Amino acid sequence: MVRELRDKTSAPMMECKKALVEAGGNAAKARSSCGSDSATKRPGLRHHCGRGVVAVHITQDAKTGAIVEVNCETDFVAQTRTS
């Protein structure tokens, strides 16, 4: 049940377990008490995305282009690139 609740809400495992215990095993009640907005309830869990990659592509006729920025939390992820 914890796994199912976690998959639906993206909440941490212990938060899902606590919500299920408080709801007496009722998944609907537990889902309303722990959700994907749980990170915004606790300001200490905000993640800072200080790393990332910027990619630029311009077509051969130079009429169309795109700039994409992808941010991440760690330098390790920022350095992992696939073409």
pLDDT in tens, 12-60: 888 888 888 988 888 888 888 775 444 445 555 556 677 778 889 999 9
Measuring CA to CA, which residue among 60, 58, 57, 83 is closest to residue 69?
57
Q: Where in the chain is the domain with CATH 1.10.8?
A: 2-43
Report yes or no: 34 and 20 within 8 Å, Cβ to Cβ.
Answer: no
User: Is 1.10.238 the CATH classification of the domain at 2-43?
Assistant: no
End-to-end CA distance of the chain: 39
Question: Is the full-model pTM beyond 0.75?
Answer: no
Q: Which residue has the higher pLDDT, 17 or 75?
A: 17
